[in-house]
Structure 1
Amino acid sequence: MRRLLPLFALLCCLPLQAGELLTYPRHSEGENPEAYVVELLRQALDKSGAGHRLQASDKPMPQSRAQLSLEQNDGHLQVMWTMTTREREQNLLPVRIPIYKGLIGWRVALVREEDRDWLASVRNLAQLKPMRIGQRADWPDTHILRSNGLQVITSQSYDSLFRMLDAGRFDLFPREVVVAHDEQQRASAAGLKLVVDSHIVLHYPSAFYFFTSRARADLAADLQRGLEAMIADGSFDRLFEQYHGEHLRKARLDQRQVIELQNPDLPEQTPFERSELWYRPSAPK
């Protein structure tokens, strides 16, 4: 009996719920372009109290492959994040808290350095239609842009899109306002002559969510609980400001011409009634 006491003491010190190791899809090789989302996910899991741990997939995965993995609940992934669509909410389980506060639908354009003032005279959607826009083939934005009558050139590779723009394969690469300047700096370090346009911003209503398999309502509930706790204690807003405050100030959305687009893929359940979940830019000029 005495020999069992140390083991009993050790067991008493272990957490009541060890949780599980959750895998998310790595976005690309090298520096993580989505460090904010990973940190938000990590903190939400901590706040959930479920004891889950987090790791990236061994290799980068396109969204289409990650979605299929979750649809099949094959065990390779347990969570991903992406823009919501009607189809995705039918096949996956969304956690309906917009992790970018809706800013995923505010897009500024990367353009070639020699074209930095090319968009200065653009005032409406019709003036954008002759231009070629770059996007990855499996991004929901591709369908949104095409449904608004815009020309879209696609690639299967995120990294190749920057090289394609530099080479003149298309004319502009709309990017989330919260990542555009970091992406431009990485492209510049790689020798590409790209700049962030300062004249226009594309806008369409959208939300970026965490998604799980529909068979994992338990995990979705853990994520919801953790994110709601972060909203309640202010840590969500603090993290958002830490990663994106300077980007938003640099983007000067209130000084740009806003080009409004329709989003035919936006589900009716998008929680616009919860004003605390959304970033509200100043009134555009």
Structure 2
Amino acid sequence: MKLAIQRITRLLLSLVLVVIGSLLSGPIVAVAVAAVTPYPSAPLLAKKTITIRIPKSEISNSGHTSYVVELLRLALEHSKQASEIIQLEPITEDYTQARLIAELRDGSNIDLIWTMTSKDREATIRPIRVPILKGLLGQRVFLIRENQQYIFENVLTLNDLARLVAGQGSHWPDTDILRANGLIVFTSPHYELLFNMLKGGRFNYFPRGVNEAWAEIDAHPNEGLAVEKYLLLSYPAPMYFFVNQRNFDLANRIERGLEAMINDGSFDKLFLNHPSIVDVVKRAKLSERRVFKLLNPDLPKETPLGDPRYWLQLQ
């Protein structure tokens, strides 16, 4: 009897040990397995594409446009997040400058334009007040008929020039500037038509930014046009990037990017080496021209005229 009880006791003790071992071994094995199982890697951040709609390039001004678009692209690269892709998308419509401003103001078909500033423009669309041409747009040489250079050799004063007729775009700020300084101006709402009008004798001269004139002559070969050799109109005329008034994010991106480019030298590197600028400044021989300085009564008071980083010293 005593032996039987001992056997039963040993059997029960063995069963208890097995149960306890199984209870202890389960979590231990599980913990051991968890310790060697690698966690899944964190997913890569998805790239976000930001599309910015910009104006269609003018055939007669493609060199100038290539500089501006490259400057815009670099500015956005300087200010974008690592997870962002910036895409510039030219619109397909061939809008006049006035229509571009209206579309931007309404925030419908375009996100950004570049144009000369004025009080009216800054009241309706948002400027990024970094002059993207460093004031070069306000240095104006003349497109003329190539057989009429002799007329301009007799222009010694602004009063002499006022006897001739200039051509300009109907909605360009330059039109009001020229008229405010006593000059006669013939206008058209369509940029390309102005070249045919000059060729046809509707006006005597077509004032153009130094960066524009030679490219426009190249775009109109064999039409009897030339760049006048001796005269220059000079007035403050900053060209800015503009966005819709409510588009704070895009305005801040561009301003941050442009300022970063000025600070690291890449703005001047692009400006001083781009073919649409460096070659024509040499060809213009600005220091050898008779300069007529004009007032710009439509220049907004916020224009940063006192910051030398923004302006090219031409004379």
> How does the TM-score come out when normalised to structure 2?
0.82
Mark the runs of 5 or more structure 2 residues left unpaired by the alignment.
Answer: 1-39
- How much has 1:19 moved relative to structure 2? 4.7
Report how far residue 246 of structure 1 moved.
1.6
Q: Following TM superposition, by how much is the alpha carbon of 1:166 offset from its aligned partner in structure 2, in angstroms?
A: 1.0
Superposition deviation, residue 277 in structure 1 = 0.7
Q: Deviations over 1:211-243 (max 9, x none)?
A: 111100111000001111111111111111122
Residue number among 192, 195, 213 corresponding to 2:244 in the alignment: 213
Deviations 1:11-56 (A, max 9, x none): x1533xx252111122435872521111111111111115332111
Match of 1:88 in 2: 121
Query: What's the counterpart of residue 62 of structure 2?
Result: 32
Give, in whole Å, the separation in 2 of the partners of 1:48 and 1:125.
45
- Percentage of pairs with the same residue: 39
CA contact (8 A) 1:62 1:138 kept: no
Look up the match of 2:100: 66
Contact 2:60 2:219 in 1 (8 A): no
| Mapped partners of 2:255, 2:61: distance in 1 | 28
Q: CA RMSD in A?
A: 1.7
Cα contact 1:27–1:62 (8 A) shared by 2: no
Name the CA distance, whole Å, in 1 between partners of 2:256 and 2:138.
25
Computing the radius of gyration over CA atoms, which structure comes out larger, 1 or 2?
Answer: 2
Deviations 1:134-165 (A, max 9, x none): 11111111111111121111112211111111
CA distance in 2 between partners of 1:31 and 1:266 (Å): 24
Cα offset for 1:118? 2.1
Is 1:170 paired with 2:203?
yes
The number of aligned residues is 270
2:158 aligned with 1:153: no
> Equivalent residues in 2 for 1:164-243 (5 A)?
164-188=197-221, 191-243=222-274
SS in 2 for 1:281: coil
- The aligned residue for residue 34 of structure 2 is none
CA separation of 1:30 and 1:260: change in aligned 2, threshold 3 A: closer
Once residues 43 and 78 of structure 1 are traced to their aligned partners in structure 2, the CA distance between those partners, rounded to angstroms, is 17
Aligned residues of 2:60 and 2:220 also touching (Cα < 8 A)? no
Q: Match for 2:90 among 56, 71, 91?
A: 56
Equivalent residue for 1:23, pick from 39, 45, 53: 53
Aligned partners of 1:32 and 1:170: how far apart in 2? 25
Deviation string 1:82-130 (CA, Å, 9 cap, x unpaired) is 1110111111111000000011110000111101232123222111111
* Maintained 8 Å contact 1:199/1:256: yes
- Whichever residue aligns with residue 105 of structure 1, its letter is G
User: Could you tell me how far apart the structure 1 residues matched to 2:314 and 2:175 are?
Assistant: 24
Task: Tell me if structure 2 keeps the 8 A contact 1:109–1:196.
Answer: yes
1:24–1:79 CA contact under 8 A, matched in 2 = yes
Normalized against structure 1, the TM-score is what?
0.90
Alpha-carbon distance between aligned partners in 2 of 1:224 and 1:93, rounded to the nearest angstrom: 12
